[in-house]
Amino acid sequence: VDDGLPRPRVYVYELPPRFNLDLWTTKELDRDCTLRAYSTGGQNSTTWHMHAHGMEIALHEALLASPHRTADAADADFFFVPVWGGCWLSRFSRPTPHHHDLTHLRFAYPELKLPRAARASQLYRLAYEYIRHTFPFWNRSAGRDHLWTFPHDEGACLAPIEISASVFITHWGRLDTPPPNHTTISHGQGWHVPPFVDSMYGSRRC
């Protein structure tokens, strides 16, 4: 039965909050990982934030309200996986308790011994494992119709190699094979850290 929805039709996964909404509950600054703020005191005004890595949240929000969104996953052309990896990177790579890259604290918190890109890659990998085991749609196409966002400096270079067949939405246009080991702006933030790079898309291209 034709329900009148336009094509392409996009199914938006409902992931556990740790992949997106929980990040709002632990942020340090109000403007982190947000698109807007509303006034208080009856002024009824909206302030728009220019969060550098807010594309993933803007797209997530837009798709939830889009006429292309479908609740019937069996009829979907694409599947959007709302992992806020850019928010995670920009929020948790700061020098705030438990979630930073400061060398002298890596002894206190074992998880910090992993490079930032490796930890972010693992966040996406956990989402991949969740949808692969919870829903039938990944295995139906080997992920070729799944959409992932990578808005941070590393682009899709830190994507888990398991999702290489998917569609990556990113600011990078690099097609180098292999790509240079640095972000768009900094040679000091590479992802070629053995052995983690072997499990990232950046070991092939970005």
d(CA 163, CA 150): 13
What pLDDT does residue 163 have?
Answer: 97
pLDDT in tens, 94-104: 544 444 454 55
C-alpha to C-alpha distance for 67 and 115, rounded to whole angstroms: 40
Closest CA to 75 of 134, 3, 20: 3
In sequence order, which ranges of the chain are alpha helices (DSSP H)?
A: 22-25, 55-64, 85-92, 116-134, 137-141
Q: Please give the single-letter amino acid code of residue 69.
A: R
d(CA 59, CA 42): 29
Taking a C-beta distance cutoff of 8 angstroms, is the pair 33, 91 a contact? yes
Asked if 78 and 10 touch (Cβ cutoff 8 Å), the reply is yes
CA–CA gap between residue 139 and residue 201 (Å, rounded): 19
Instruction: State how far the Cα of 35 lies from the Cα of 86, in Å rounded to an integer.
Output: 13
What pLDDT score does 70 carry? Answer: 96
Judged by DSSP in three states, 88 sits in helix
- List, in sequence order, every residue forming a beta bridge with 58; answer none if it has no partner: none
Residue 74 has pLDDT above 90, yes or no: yes
Q: Which long-range contacts (CB under 8 A, 24 or more apart) does 102-107 make?
A: none
Q: Which residue has the higher pLDDT, 188 or 89?
A: 89
pTM: 0.85
Span 132-157, average pLDDT = 93
Hey, where are the domains in the chain? 10-22+52-203
Closest alpha carbon to 124 in 157, 77, 171, 99: 157
Provide the CB-side half-sphere exposure for 58 (13 A, CA): 13
DSSP secondary structure, 154-182, as one string: TGGGGSBGGGTTSEEEES-----SSPPSS
